[in-house]
Structure 1
Amino acid sequence: MDKAVYIAMASGQNIMAAQAIHANNLANANTNGFQADFAQARSLGVYYGEGLSTRAYSRSENPGTDFQRGSLNETGRDLDMAVEGDGWISIQAPDGTEAFTRAGSLKLDPNGQLLTANNLPVMGNGGPIALPPADKVTLGADGTITIQPAGQPADVLATVDRIKLVKPDEAELVKGKDGLIRRRDGQEQVPDASIRLQSGFVETSNVNAVDELTSIMALARQFEVNVKMMKMIEENSSAVAQVLRAQ
């Protein structure tokens, strides 16, 4: 009985791990630039003692991230930028390392620093971008930042920096626990001048809400089966104990 209970319990634990991955994807279905996580069950052989392995258990895990592109949503906002094709916007993570995002809804703080929607600094040619006081800020297709200095006529423009746009090999990318994309080796990525931005658009999440909801419902039914199995094992164990006491 103990082995059967263990199998049912381990199955329920792995189902909950898979549920967490799908639930996080579904929760971010409306998060701009979000990259969905994969969930899979991996077979693990049972190796102990002498002889050959005749049994295998499964383990739920997150093997990687879905880097398919989301659709583009037009906003008309000057500081909203969508990355065309493959490529990323370089940002500074809270720990000071370089990370990448495709969420191009940018903003300026009171000190003129260019930030993402979740308040992470956007990287430029020489580090985090900080702009002088300006009446208007324009972002070019190549990431060039042009401003109309405060108090100056509309025809007085100045180029102050350029957003660092990169194109790392997706096989070298990994999503951290903070949800940010980084290189596996932790190194900085060199800029790629071929990357282009589309002004007035943001990239939506690449999550398929219907698929995620269907997966969650299927996993819930599987969890119920394991709970029923554990209840049946408990009933069988009680019945066996009563038979032994009667003898």
Structure 2
Amino acid sequence: MDRSVYVAMTGATQIMRAQAEVAHNLANANTAGFKAELSAFQSLPVQGDGLQTRINGVAQGTGWDTTAGNQMETGNDLDVAVQGDGWIAVQTPDGTEGYTRAGNLRIDADGLLTDAKGNAVLGGGGPITIPQASSVKIGADGTISVVPLGESPATIATTDRIKLVNPGNDQLAYAPDGLMHMRDGTQAPADAGVKLVSGALEGSNVNPSDVLVKMISLSREFEMQVRSIKAADENAQSASKLLQVG
């Protein structure tokens, strides 16, 4: 009986892990540029002495959904959406290079161009700094143009160009910081073929209805595993009583 309890307990634990991933996707249904994480249950034999007659269902990540989210017009000059394949390069707090499609950019108090999480957006020579200006425009190729304070609108200066990359989705891996990173730890080269749409944002590609259905399904599977544990415990108690009578 302890073996059946172990298998059911393992199943319940793996379902809880899968449920946590589903909840994470649902929580980011309105996050700009978010890509849903994917997972699936795989059958793995229980390792140990004797015949491998017991199988555990293990939840394992299978990657992320590469589908682009819906494009939303915002009219904000610092909002950009990547057209087609491609990513915006940013610098994480530990100095490594990450990639995002969340184009809701900001300018902090020091003039540093960042994403919504505070990661510095990278340009041709590193993090991009925006001088004080009356207006800031981002072109389709990532070029940043500003009108300096006190100057006429006709006076336009180019400050830098956002690093846009397209290494291929198979070369990228989802990291705990919510960004994509190169699987081999290198930095992706800039790709002039990647284009931006200014004044727009790419929404999350999470479908709330599908995620809710999956969450309900996992909850029912968890209840089934718990009932299996209880049934195994009741059978063990019944067997114990029979032995006592004998």
Q: Provide the TM-score with structure 1 as the length reference.
A: 0.96
Looking at structure 1, the residues matched to 49 and 225 of structure 2 have their Cα atoms a distance apart, in angstroms, of 28
What does 1:1-247 correspond to in 2, within 5 Å?
Answer: 1-49=1-49, 53-247=52-246
Deviation of 1:49 after TM superposition, in Å, equals: 4.3
**Amino acid aligned to 1:59:** V
Q: Secondary structure at the match of 1:245?
A: helix
Looking at structure 1, the residues matched to 94 and 59 of structure 2 have their Cα atoms a distance apart, in angstroms, of 29
Deviation of 1:54 after TM superposition, in Å, equals: 4.1
Q: Secondary structure at the match of 2:64?
A: coil
- 1:86-122 per-residue CA deviation (whole Å, 9 max, x = no partner) reads 0000001121100000000111112111011111100
Deviation of 1:55 after TM superposition, in Å, equals: 4.0
Looking at structure 2, the residues matched to 93 and 43 of structure 1 have their Cα atoms a distance apart, in angstroms, of 37
Contact 1:38 1:64 in 2 (8 A): yes
Looking at structure 2, the residues matched to 47 and 17 of structure 1 have their Cα atoms a distance apart, in angstroms, of 21
- 1:202-246 per-residue CA deviation (whole Å, 9 max, x = no partner) reads 000011111111111001001111111111121221122222222
Q: Secondary structure at the match of 2:89?
A: strand
Deviation of 1:45 after TM superposition, in Å, equals: 2.6
Looking at structure 2, the residues matched to 132 and 76 of structure 1 have their Cα atoms a distance apart, in angstroms, of 22
Structure 1: which 5+ residue stretches go unaligned?
none
Deviation of 1:124 after TM superposition, in Å, equals: 0.3
Deviation of 1:53 after TM superposition, in Å, equals: 4.0
Q: Secondary structure at the match of 2:23?
A: helix
Deviation of 1:58 after TM superposition, in Å, equals: 2.1
Contact 2:146 2:157 in 1 (8 A): yes
How many residues are aligned here? Answer: 246
Q: Secondary structure at the match of 2:99?
A: strand
Looking at structure 1, the residues matched to 237 and 57 of structure 2 have their Cα atoms a distance apart, in angstroms, of 29
Contact 1:22 1:39 in 2 (8 A): no
Q: Which moved more, 1:37-46 or 1:162-171?
A: 37-46
Looking at structure 1, the residues matched to 179 and 158 of structure 2 have their Cα atoms a distance apart, in angstroms, of 29
**Amino acid aligned to 2:36:** A
Contact 2:38 2:62 in 1 (8 A): yes
Looking at structure 2, the residues matched to 8 and 26 of structure 1 have their Cα atoms a distance apart, in angstroms, of 27
Q: Secondary structure at the match of 1:232?
A: helix
Looking at structure 1, the residues matched to 131 and 217 of structure 2 have their Cα atoms a distance apart, in angstroms, of 54
- Percent identity over the alignment is 46
Looking at structure 2, the residues matched to 62 and 212 of structure 1 have their Cα atoms a distance apart, in angstroms, of 16
Q: Provide the TM-score with structure 2 as the length reference.
A: 0.96
